[in-house]
Amino acid sequence: MSGRERLRELRRSGLLAEHYDEVAALLAAMPPEERARSARLLAGVDAEAVARRHPGLRRVKAVVTGHGTLEALRTALTGELARHGLLPEVELTGYGTSVAELGDPGSSLYAAGAELTVCVLDHTAVLDEVPVPFDTEDVARVLREKLALWRDLAAVFARTSGGTLVFNTIPLPRAWQVRLLDHPSRARLGALWREANAGLLRLGEDEPRVTVLDLDPLLFDAPGPHDPRLEVYAGTHLSEAVLGAYAAELAHLVRAGAGRGKKVLALDLDHTLWGGVLGDDGVEGLEVAHTPRGEAFRAFQTLVKQLQSQGVLLAAVSKNDPETVLAALRGHPDLVLREEDFVAVLAGWKPKAESLRTLAAELNLGLDAVVFADDSAHECAAVAAELPEVTVLHLAGDPALHVRTLLADGWFTATGITSEDRRRTLLYRQESARAEFLSAAGSAADFLAGLGVEVSLASAGEADLPRLAQLTLRTNQFNLTTERLSVEEVRARAADPARRVLAISSADRFGGNGVVGALFLRAGPGPVLVVENMLLSCRVFARGIEQACLSAVLEAARAAGYRTVRGEYRPTAKNAKVGDLYPHYGFTSAEPGEHGTVHFHDLASVVAVPGHLSLTAGEGLVPPPLTT
């Protein structure tokens, strides 16, 4: 039975809510065109019923508005979100009501409380207000007015909603460009239109809650971006193909914001990263550059290098002799990627699923953080069957298509890139050196004593805010509440005198780790100090850093006059390892909370800073107690 048939059967039998945990895998296995058709089967699913049966699914509420008919976008967005294991609730505002809805803080759009609001812009929003006949100055005037309007709507949204607003750039239809008969006027119109789109793209610089998607790259790949018949008869100004690609980009954005972006790209080598079989052809026989096919592999390596430079961790997973693989990575003159670009080179004759398990364990990451790419259908099928959490990409056929296949689903899309991201491979390679040091140490105590851990805990500065927001989005294991925050939300908390946002940095004998964690604190009545959340990167587990930072905060709370410190643990599928953190460090009582367990510390006895590390704590770690 095909995936579409299975979905149809579940829908027909009324069992779709009960078996909603199958939906993501069924949709993911479909080609894009079949997935778009199958998404219609999800329309009308009772999200409440699904949530009751599958409480672990993350719900995503979205509102779609715009100038034209957008039912196709609602359907496609429902399917794309479901494909990524999310539970979508997508609403559509009335036809042509976008300005009224976005401009009125009391509208139903804002009442929906959506985390994602999509305002689809198209050429009619501008050209419907251009007079007939028109010249380029008429278009310039309307574009200026529209940009001012969209800027005002973005400002209203930023003041009113806690979610994200998405606009898009507007394609210029040829049918309007050629209404101007002379080429100088067409060029002028093109320049004006592109300047307006550039203004749109810059809206996100002024309003952090606004994201603007550039449609030009989507039009490059989408067949039939516009159908004049559907525009005239149905008010559909962008084709179903374009709206489907738009929905996919929105889903990538939501996935990144939910902390579900991928972190590791595990690559086969033969016929994937280079042409030829290393064991048969030798290092000198590999095909990289100098031939059309070799240039295709080189282009793929260039892409992979670009991803690596922005924080994607690379691993080679190959059935080859390890020494020969290293010889190729170190010595082939035409390779773009070198040994130092990889956090791990797992070459040998073990099953690749076993190698991927080893990789995830060494990196202290979940298997769902890994994308595995291989040209072999057999290897892809074997990994998919044994490790369903891993995202598997089959790089089939022509290597010139490898780039498109790897980029098609935006697996590594991020909400922002930090300095730690650009150093991520180096940081993990340093971690490998620490692991070697541990294996040579006589005991864990000897390892920690010789590591020379230095920890800094201080109020976050402006430069720390993007990294701290990223930690809330990407940290899953040591994350006590998994509350996801944008940079603007972190900034607002840091500016609140009743709160503190603390950045945790660390270093040791092998180098600096940068900002590795965060503490979010709030003054409550009582006087009670509330630990809103604590996060720590998986790279620095088991070094006593959390104990040192909690010790400093508890001591500062006692000195400031607090009577109690309260912290909540909200269990998820991935943070079980910190389930007993509060009791372990002296929180002596607990009670059920709305989402988990609330723990209390009476400050009578505070855990000490571990003796094997040094802690530098800044001033004003806790906010002053509230006065009654």
pLDDT tens digits along 352-381:
999 999 999 888 889 999 999 999 999 999
Percent of the chain exceeding pLDDT 90 equals 65
CA dist 481 → 365, 477, 569 (Å): 18, 10, 6
Q: Name 499's bridge partners.
A: 522
Return the structure tokens found at 550. Answer: 């909690």
> What is the C-alpha to C-alpha distance for residues 68 and 231, in angstroms, rounded to an integer?
9
- Give yes or no for residue 572 having a pLDDT over 90: no
CATH number attached to the domain at 423-617? 3.40.630.30
Give the global pTM. 0.82
On the 0-12 / 13-18 / 19+ scale of CB atoms within 10 A, 582 is buried
Helices 424-440 & 352-363 angle (0-180, nearest 10): 90
> What is the C-alpha to C-alpha distance for residues 614 and 601, in angstroms, rounded to an integer?
24
Choose among 168, 170, 152, 169: nearest CA to 160. Answer: 152
> What is the C-alpha to C-alpha distance for residues 303 and 336, in angstroms, rounded to an integer?
10
- Give yes or no for residue 164 having a pLDDT over 90: yes
Residue 324's CB is within 10 A of a number of other CB atoms, namely 15
Averaged pLDDT for residues 517-536: 94
CA dist 454 → 244, 430, 544 (Å): 50, 15, 11
Express each pLDDT in 416-473 by its tens digit.
Answer: 888 888 888 888 887 777 776 766 666 778 888 888 899 999 999 999 999 999 999 8
Greater confidence, 539 or 482? 482
H-type helices in 84-207, by residue range?
Answer: 98-103, 108-111, 124-127, 136-160, 174-177, 183-201, 203-206
Helices first, then strands: H and E counts in the chain:
28, 18
CA dist 330 → 326, 339, 458 (Å): 6, 6, 42
pLDDT at position 83: 92
Helices 240-257 & 71-83 angle (0-180, nearest 10): 40
Mean pLDDT check: name the lowest of 16-20, 68-72, 416-420, 528-532: 416-420
Express each pLDDT in 257-292 by its tens digit.
Answer: 888 889 999 999 999 999 999 988 898 889 998 899
pLDDT at position 441: 64
Residue 265's CB is within 10 A of a number of other CB atoms, namely 22
pLDDT at position 567: 94
Greater confidence, 289 or 503? 503
pLDDT at position 488: 87
Q: In what order do the strands lie in the sheet with 391-394?
A: 342-347, 313-318, 264-267, 370-374, 391-394
Q: Please list, in sequence order, all residues whose beta carbon lies within 8 angstroms of the beta carbon of residue 232, skipping any fewer than 6 positions away.
A: none
CA angle (601, 604, 607) in 5-degree steps: 75
- Give yes or no for residue 178 having a pLDDT over 70: yes
Q: Phi-psi category of 90—alpha, beta or left, where left has phi over 0 and alpha has psi -120 to 50?
A: beta
> What is the C-alpha to C-alpha distance for residues 80 and 413, in angstroms, rounded to an integer?
15
On the 0-12 / 13-18 / 19+ scale of CB atoms within 10 A, 228 is exposed
Express each pLDDT in 338-355 by its tens digit.
Answer: 999 999 999 999 999 999
What phi, psi does 449 have (nearest 5°)?
A: -65, -35
Confirm if 528 and 566 have CB atoms less than 8 A apart.
yes
* Fold matches, 58-257 and 423-617: no
The ranges assigned to domains in the chain are 1-56, 58-257, 264-407, 423-617
Confirm if 434 and 452 have CB atoms less than 8 A apart.
no
What phi, psi does 579 have (nearest 5°)?
A: -60, -30
Averaged pLDDT for residues 167-180: 94
Confirm if 270 and 314 have CB atoms less than 8 A apart.
no
Averaged pLDDT for residues 283-311: 93
Sign of the Cα pseudo-torsion (275, 277, 280, 284, in order): positive
- Give yes or no for residue 218 having a pLDDT over 80: yes
Greater confidence, 235 or 324? 324
What's the chain's average pLDDT?
Answer: 91
Express each pLDDT in 473-485 by its tens digit.
Answer: 888 889 999 898 9
pLDDT range class, residue 582, cuts 50, 70, 90: very high
Percent of the chain exceeding pLDDT 70 equals 98
Express each pLDDT in 377-427 by its tens digit.
Answer: 999 999 999 999 999 999 988 999 999 999 988 999 988 888 888 888 888
Does the domain made of 264-407 have the CATH classification 2.60.40.10? Answer: no
Return the structure tokens found at 281. Answer: 């052809």
Place of tokens 């079980």: 576
> What is the C-alpha to C-alpha distance for residues 559 and 207, in angstroms, rounded to an integer?
39
Averaged pLDDT for residues 564-585: 91
pLDDT range class, residue 234, cuts 50, 70, 90: confident
CATH number attached to the domain at 58-257? 3.40.50.1110
Averaged pLDDT for residues 33-37: 82
Averaged pLDDT for residues 539-547: 88
